[in-house]
Amino acid sequence: MRRRPIPFRIVGPLVWIAFFSVLPRGPARAADGLTPLTILGYGCWVQDLAAAEADSVPLRLYPLGRSPQESLLQGRPERLAATVRELRARERALTDAWDAAPYRTESSAVAAARGYRDVGEYETALQWYGTAQQAAGLALPVGPLAHEMFATAVLWGDSLRIDERFRDLMASGDLAASEGAAVVAYRHYLTRNDHTSLRRLLALASGQADRLTPALLFWQSYCLVADGRRAESVPLLLRLVAGAGSAADLESWQRVWVVRALPDGLYMADDSGAAALLYGMLAVQPAGEAPLWASYQLANFALRDGDFAGAAELYRRSAGAAPVAPWQLRAVALAGTADQLTSVGKGGRAP
Protein backbone atom coordinates (compact mmCIF):
# COMPACT_ATOMS: atom_id res chain seq x y z
CA MET A 1 0.00 0.00 0.00
CA ARG A 2 1.51 3.30 -1.10
CA ARG A 3 1.65 6.11 1.42
CA ARG A 4 0.17 9.41 0.32
CA PRO A 5 2.75 12.23 0.17
CA ILE A 6 2.44 15.08 2.64
CA PRO A 7 0.96 18.14 0.90
CA PHE A 8 3.52 20.87 0.25
CA ARG A 9 1.63 23.48 2.26
CA ILE A 10 1.99 21.21 5.32
CA VAL A 11 5.72 20.62 4.87
CA GLY A 12 6.71 24.25 5.50
CA PRO A 13 5.03 24.54 8.91
CA LEU A 14 6.44 21.15 9.97
CA VAL A 15 9.95 22.38 9.15
CA TRP A 16 9.31 25.59 11.13
CA ILE A 17 8.13 23.60 14.14
CA ALA A 18 11.28 21.47 14.06
CA PHE A 19 13.45 24.55 13.63
CA PHE A 20 11.96 26.49 16.52
CA SER A 21 12.07 23.43 18.78
CA VAL A 22 15.89 23.54 18.81
CA LEU A 23 16.30 27.29 19.31
CA PRO A 24 17.88 28.42 22.58
CA ARG A 25 15.70 30.07 25.19
CA GLY A 26 14.98 33.66 24.23
CA PRO A 27 12.29 35.83 22.73
CA ALA A 28 11.78 33.57 19.70
CA ARG A 29 11.90 30.34 21.73
CA ALA A 30 9.85 31.23 24.80
CA ALA A 31 6.51 30.53 23.12
CA ASP A 32 5.05 28.03 25.54
CA GLY A 33 1.56 29.44 24.95
CA LEU A 34 1.49 28.12 21.39
CA THR A 35 0.71 24.48 20.67
CA PRO A 36 2.20 22.64 17.70
CA LEU A 37 -1.30 22.52 16.20
CA THR A 38 -1.59 26.30 16.43
CA ILE A 39 1.83 26.81 14.83
CA LEU A 40 0.97 24.34 12.09
CA GLY A 41 -2.35 26.05 11.45
CA TYR A 42 -0.80 29.50 11.40
CA GLY A 43 1.82 28.27 8.94
CA CYS A 44 -0.94 27.13 6.57
CA TRP A 45 -2.61 30.54 6.84
CA VAL A 46 0.55 32.50 6.06
CA GLN A 47 1.43 30.24 3.12
CA ASP A 48 -1.90 31.25 1.61
CA LEU A 49 -1.07 34.92 2.16
CA ALA A 50 0.15 35.77 -1.35
CA ALA A 51 -3.08 34.55 -2.91
CA ALA A 52 -5.15 36.36 -0.30
CA GLU A 53 -3.29 39.63 -0.88
CA ALA A 54 -3.85 39.38 -4.64
CA ASP A 55 -7.54 38.51 -4.38
CA SER A 56 -9.27 41.80 -3.64
CA VAL A 57 -12.69 41.00 -5.14
CA PRO A 58 -15.33 40.66 -2.38
CA LEU A 59 -17.12 37.34 -2.42
CA ARG A 60 -19.99 38.30 -0.13
CA LEU A 61 -21.44 41.76 -0.49
CA TYR A 62 -22.65 43.55 2.62
CA PRO A 63 -25.28 43.40 4.00
CA LEU A 64 -27.02 40.76 1.87
CA GLY A 65 -24.02 38.45 1.56
CA ARG A 66 -24.64 37.77 -2.12
CA SER A 67 -22.14 37.29 -4.90
CA PRO A 68 -21.46 40.16 -7.34
CA GLN A 69 -23.37 38.25 -10.05
CA GLU A 70 -26.48 38.33 -7.85
CA SER A 71 -26.26 42.00 -6.91
CA LEU A 72 -29.24 44.32 -7.02
CA LEU A 73 -30.85 45.49 -10.24
CA GLN A 74 -28.83 48.67 -10.65
CA GLY A 75 -28.48 50.53 -13.94
CA ARG A 76 -31.10 48.37 -15.71
CA PRO A 77 -34.34 50.40 -15.80
CA GLU A 78 -36.10 48.12 -18.29
CA ARG A 79 -35.48 45.05 -16.12
CA LEU A 80 -36.47 47.03 -13.02
CA ALA A 81 -39.81 48.04 -14.53
CA ALA A 82 -40.54 44.47 -15.61
CA THR A 83 -39.69 43.20 -12.13
CA VAL A 84 -42.07 45.71 -10.52
CA ARG A 85 -44.92 44.55 -12.80
CA GLU A 86 -44.18 40.94 -11.92
CA LEU A 87 -44.21 41.78 -8.22
CA ARG A 88 -47.55 43.55 -8.39
CA ALA A 89 -49.11 40.55 -10.13
CA ARG A 90 -47.56 38.14 -7.63
CA GLU A 91 -48.76 40.18 -4.67
CA ARG A 92 -52.34 40.23 -5.98
CA ALA A 93 -52.22 36.47 -6.46
CA LEU A 94 -50.78 35.88 -3.02
CA THR A 95 -53.24 38.21 -1.33
CA ASP A 96 -56.29 36.87 -3.16
CA ALA A 97 -55.44 33.21 -2.68
CA TRP A 98 -53.61 33.21 0.65
CA ASP A 99 -55.98 30.63 2.07
CA ALA A 100 -55.15 28.19 -0.71
CA ALA A 101 -52.57 25.60 0.32
CA PRO A 102 -50.04 26.32 -2.50
CA TYR A 103 -49.69 29.91 -1.32
CA ARG A 104 -49.69 29.30 2.41
CA THR A 105 -45.95 28.67 2.48
CA GLU A 106 -42.85 30.40 3.76
CA SER A 107 -41.10 30.13 0.39
CA SER A 108 -43.81 32.00 -1.54
CA ALA A 109 -43.76 34.88 0.93
CA VAL A 110 -39.95 34.99 0.94
CA ALA A 111 -39.93 35.13 -2.86
CA ALA A 112 -42.26 38.14 -2.75
CA ALA A 113 -40.13 39.78 -0.05
CA ARG A 114 -36.94 39.35 -2.08
CA GLY A 115 -38.55 40.83 -5.13
CA TYR A 116 -39.64 43.97 -3.29
CA ARG A 117 -36.27 44.22 -1.57
CA ASP A 118 -34.41 44.07 -4.87
CA VAL A 119 -36.38 46.99 -6.27
CA GLY A 120 -35.89 49.09 -3.15
CA GLU A 121 -39.37 48.75 -1.59
CA TYR A 122 -37.98 47.74 1.77
CA GLU A 123 -41.07 48.40 3.89
CA THR A 124 -43.19 46.09 1.75
CA ALA A 125 -40.36 43.55 1.71
CA LEU A 126 -40.25 43.47 5.51
CA GLN A 127 -44.03 42.96 5.64
CA TRP A 128 -43.69 39.91 3.40
CA TYR A 129 -40.77 38.62 5.47
CA GLY A 130 -43.07 38.90 8.49
CA THR A 131 -45.68 36.86 6.60
CA ALA A 132 -43.00 34.26 5.86
CA GLN A 133 -42.14 34.08 9.54
CA GLN A 134 -45.79 33.48 10.42
CA ALA A 135 -46.16 30.85 7.71
CA ALA A 136 -43.11 29.04 9.11
CA GLY A 137 -44.59 29.15 12.61
CA LEU A 138 -41.51 30.85 14.06
CA ALA A 139 -41.69 32.92 17.23
CA LEU A 140 -38.42 34.59 16.19
CA PRO A 141 -36.73 34.66 12.78
CA VAL A 142 -33.64 32.44 12.56
CA GLY A 143 -31.17 31.33 9.92
CA PRO A 144 -31.34 32.85 6.43
CA LEU A 145 -34.69 34.49 7.20
CA ALA A 146 -33.19 36.42 10.13
CA HIS A 147 -30.26 37.46 7.93
CA GLU A 148 -32.44 38.75 5.11
CA MET A 149 -34.74 40.63 7.48
CA PHE A 150 -31.82 42.31 9.26
CA ALA A 151 -30.11 43.13 5.96
CA THR A 152 -33.31 44.63 4.53
CA ALA A 153 -33.76 46.81 7.62
CA VAL A 154 -30.18 48.05 7.20
CA LEU A 155 -30.75 48.73 3.50
CA TRP A 156 -33.87 50.71 4.41
CA GLY A 157 -31.98 52.65 7.08
CA ASP A 158 -34.92 52.65 9.49
CA SER A 159 -33.45 52.65 13.00
CA LEU A 160 -36.70 51.35 14.54
CA ARG A 161 -36.74 48.30 12.25
CA ILE A 162 -33.02 47.72 12.86
CA ASP A 163 -33.63 47.80 16.62
CA GLU A 164 -36.45 45.27 16.21
CA ARG A 165 -34.18 42.91 14.30
CA PHE A 166 -31.42 43.33 16.88
CA ARG A 167 -33.82 42.54 19.74
CA ASP A 168 -34.92 39.39 17.91
CA LEU A 169 -31.28 38.37 17.43
CA MET A 170 -30.46 38.91 21.09
CA ALA A 171 -33.61 37.07 22.19
CA SER A 172 -32.84 34.07 19.99
CA GLY A 173 -29.66 33.53 22.01
CA ASP A 174 -27.85 31.20 19.60
CA LEU A 175 -25.75 33.38 17.28
CA ALA A 176 -24.47 30.41 15.28
CA ALA A 177 -28.06 29.58 14.28
CA SER A 178 -28.40 33.09 12.78
CA GLU A 179 -24.83 33.66 11.62
CA GLY A 180 -25.77 35.96 8.74
CA ALA A 181 -27.88 38.26 10.92
CA ALA A 182 -25.14 38.36 13.57
CA VAL A 183 -22.50 39.36 10.99
CA VAL A 184 -24.76 42.16 9.75
CA ALA A 185 -25.18 43.33 13.36
CA TYR A 186 -21.42 43.34 13.99
CA ARG A 187 -20.74 45.33 10.83
CA HIS A 188 -23.65 47.74 11.25
CA TYR A 189 -22.87 48.77 14.83
CA LEU A 190 -19.15 48.93 14.11
CA THR A 191 -19.78 51.23 11.14
CA ARG A 192 -22.23 53.35 13.13
CA ASN A 193 -19.81 53.56 16.06
CA ASP A 194 -22.62 52.34 18.32
CA HIS A 195 -20.53 51.07 21.23
CA THR A 196 -23.53 50.29 23.43
CA SER A 197 -25.19 47.88 20.99
CA LEU A 198 -21.86 46.44 19.89
CA ARG A 199 -20.86 45.64 23.47
CA ARG A 200 -24.18 43.91 24.09
CA LEU A 201 -23.49 41.74 21.06
CA LEU A 202 -19.91 41.08 22.17
CA ALA A 203 -21.14 40.06 25.64
CA LEU A 204 -23.70 37.64 24.18
CA ALA A 205 -21.07 36.06 21.90
CA SER A 206 -18.57 35.77 24.77
CA GLY A 207 -21.03 33.55 26.62
CA GLN A 208 -21.15 31.07 23.72
CA ALA A 209 -17.59 31.32 22.40
CA ASP A 210 -17.27 27.54 22.07
CA ARG A 211 -20.16 27.48 19.56
CA LEU A 212 -19.09 30.37 17.32
CA THR A 213 -18.53 29.62 13.63
CA PRO A 214 -15.32 30.79 11.89
CA ALA A 215 -17.14 33.86 10.52
CA LEU A 216 -18.40 34.78 13.98
CA LEU A 217 -14.98 34.13 15.54
CA PHE A 218 -13.52 36.57 13.04
CA TRP A 219 -16.06 39.34 13.62
CA GLN A 220 -15.98 38.88 17.39
CA SER A 221 -12.18 39.23 17.31
CA TYR A 222 -12.28 42.14 14.87
CA CYS A 223 -14.80 44.09 16.95
CA LEU A 224 -12.98 43.35 20.21
CA VAL A 225 -9.82 44.86 18.71
CA ALA A 226 -11.83 47.85 17.44
CA ASP A 227 -13.20 48.27 20.98
CA GLY A 228 -9.69 48.35 22.43
CA ARG A 229 -9.91 44.84 23.93
CA ARG A 230 -7.16 43.18 21.93
CA ALA A 231 -6.15 40.75 24.69
CA GLU A 232 -9.65 39.22 24.67
CA SER A 233 -9.35 38.55 20.94
CA VAL A 234 -6.24 36.36 21.27
CA PRO A 235 -7.96 33.10 22.43
CA LEU A 236 -10.50 33.46 19.62
CA LEU A 237 -7.80 34.03 17.01
CA LEU A 238 -5.84 31.04 18.32
CA ARG A 239 -8.93 28.88 17.86
CA LEU A 240 -9.47 30.30 14.40
CA VAL A 241 -5.99 29.53 13.05
CA ALA A 242 -5.94 26.07 14.65
CA GLY A 243 -9.29 25.07 13.16
CA ALA A 244 -9.16 22.94 10.03
CA GLY A 245 -10.79 24.71 7.12
CA SER A 246 -11.42 27.99 8.94
CA ALA A 247 -9.55 30.03 6.35
CA ALA A 248 -11.85 28.78 3.60
CA ASP A 249 -14.82 30.37 5.39
CA LEU A 250 -13.28 33.85 5.36
CA GLU A 251 -12.69 36.40 2.63
CA SER A 252 -9.18 37.27 1.50
CA TRP A 253 -8.92 40.57 3.42
CA GLN A 254 -10.14 38.80 6.56
CA ARG A 255 -7.42 36.14 6.28
CA VAL A 256 -4.77 38.84 5.88
CA TRP A 257 -6.11 40.62 8.98
CA VAL A 258 -6.01 37.41 11.05
CA VAL A 259 -2.36 36.60 10.29
CA ARG A 260 -1.39 40.11 11.42
CA ALA A 261 -3.79 40.42 14.35
CA LEU A 262 -2.74 37.22 16.13
CA PRO A 263 0.97 38.05 16.65
CA ASP A 264 0.03 41.68 17.36
CA GLY A 265 -2.39 40.50 20.04
CA LEU A 266 0.20 38.19 21.60
CA TYR A 267 2.70 41.07 21.61
CA MET A 268 0.22 43.40 23.32
CA ALA A 269 -0.58 40.65 25.83
CA ASP A 270 3.12 40.56 26.82
CA ASP A 271 3.67 37.13 25.23
CA SER A 272 6.64 38.35 23.22
CA GLY A 273 8.07 34.86 22.68
CA ALA A 274 4.95 33.60 20.91
CA ALA A 275 4.62 36.87 19.01
CA ALA A 276 8.23 36.72 17.78
CA LEU A 277 7.79 33.14 16.61
CA LEU A 278 4.72 34.00 14.52
CA TYR A 279 6.26 37.23 13.22
CA GLY A 280 9.22 35.15 12.06
CA MET A 281 6.93 32.80 10.13
CA LEU A 282 5.11 35.74 8.57
CA ALA A 283 8.20 37.79 7.70
CA VAL A 284 9.62 35.18 5.32
CA GLN A 285 6.61 35.27 3.02
CA PRO A 286 7.51 36.58 -0.44
CA ALA A 287 4.90 39.28 -1.06
CA GLY A 288 2.41 41.66 0.50
CA GLU A 289 2.42 44.27 3.23
CA ALA A 290 1.92 41.82 6.12
CA PRO A 291 5.47 40.33 5.85
CA LEU A 292 6.91 43.86 5.86
CA TRP A 293 4.96 44.63 9.03
CA ALA A 294 6.26 41.42 10.61
CA SER A 295 9.84 42.44 9.73
CA TYR A 296 9.22 45.81 11.37
CA GLN A 297 8.06 44.16 14.58
CA LEU A 298 11.02 41.77 14.56
CA ALA A 299 13.29 44.80 14.14
CA ASN A 300 11.75 46.26 17.29
CA PHE A 301 12.56 43.02 19.12
CA ALA A 302 16.15 43.11 17.87
CA LEU A 303 16.58 46.77 18.88
CA ARG A 304 15.20 46.03 22.33
CA ASP A 305 17.62 43.11 22.74
CA GLY A 306 20.66 45.14 21.66
CA ASP A 307 21.10 43.53 18.24
CA PHE A 308 21.52 46.89 16.49
CA ALA A 309 22.95 45.52 13.23
CA GLY A 310 20.13 43.01 12.92
CA ALA A 311 17.58 45.69 13.75
CA ALA A 312 18.95 48.00 11.03
CA GLU A 313 18.71 45.24 8.41
CA LEU A 314 15.15 44.35 9.42
CA TYR A 315 14.05 47.98 9.46
CA ARG A 316 15.33 48.43 5.90
CA ARG A 317 13.58 45.28 4.78
CA SER A 318 10.31 46.41 6.37
CA ALA A 319 10.49 49.81 4.64
CA GLY A 320 10.35 48.13 1.23
CA ALA A 321 11.37 49.71 -2.03
CA ALA A 322 8.89 52.60 -1.70
CA PRO A 323 7.45 53.22 1.80
CA VAL A 324 3.74 53.98 1.72
CA ALA A 325 2.68 53.64 5.37
CA PRO A 326 3.67 55.84 8.34
CA TRP A 327 5.29 52.93 10.15
CA GLN A 328 7.48 52.29 7.07
CA LEU A 329 8.72 55.88 7.15
CA ARG A 330 9.49 55.37 10.81
CA ALA A 331 11.39 52.19 9.89
CA VAL A 332 13.68 54.22 7.62
CA ALA A 333 14.50 56.60 10.48
CA LEU A 334 15.00 53.75 12.96
CA ALA A 335 17.35 51.98 10.54
CA GLY A 336 19.62 55.03 10.68
CA THR A 337 19.39 55.09 14.48
CA ALA A 338 20.29 51.40 14.67
CA ASP A 339 23.28 51.99 12.38
CA GLN A 340 24.52 54.74 14.68
CA LEU A 341 24.14 52.49 17.71
CA THR A 342 26.06 49.75 15.86
CA SER A 343 28.89 52.21 15.17
CA VAL A 344 28.95 53.30 18.78
CA GLY A 345 29.16 49.68 19.89
CA LYS A 346 32.06 48.96 17.54
CA GLY A 347 33.90 52.10 18.59
CA GLY A 348 33.65 51.18 22.25
CA ARG A 349 35.21 47.73 21.89
CA ALA A 350 38.64 47.15 23.28
CA PRO A 351 41.38 46.42 20.66
Q: What is the pLDDT of residues 217-245, one digit of tens each?
A: 999 999 999 999 999 999 999 999 987 66
Distance, in Å, from the CA atom of 189 to the CA atom of 320, rounded to the nearest integer, reads: 36
Nearest CA to 222 out of 233, 238, 207, 231 is that of: 233
Distance, in Å, from the CA atom of 212 to the CA atom of 341, rounded to the nearest integer, reads: 49
Domains and CATH numbers, the chain: 59-211 (1.25.40)
Amino acid 62: pLDDT: 78
Helix then strand count (H, E) for the chain reads 17, 0
Percent of the chain surpassing pLDDT 70? 74
- Mean pLDDT across 13-32: 44
CB 103 within 8 A of CB 94: yes
Average pLDDT across the chain, whole number: 80
**Residue 25: pLDDT band with limits 50, 70, 90:** very low
Nearest CA to 169 out of 157, 160, 180 is that of: 180
Which of 28-32, 58-62, 251-255 has the least mean pLDDT? 28-32
- Mean pLDDT across 126-137: 92
**Amino acid identity at 105:** T
**Residue 151: pLDDT band with limits 50, 70, 90:** very high
Q: Which helix (H) or strand (E) holds 266?
A: helix 252-268
- Half-sphere exposure in the Cβ direction for 73 (13 Å, CA): 17
CB 27 within 8 A of CB 263: no
Question: Does residue 184 surpass a pLDDT of 70?
Answer: yes
Based on the number of CB atoms within 10 Å of its own CB, is 165 exposed (0-12), middle (13-18) or buried (19 or more)? buried
**Amino acid identity at 23:** L
Amino acid 345: pLDDT: 61
Distance, in Å, from the CA atom of 113 to the CA atom of 136, rounded to the nearest integer, reads: 14
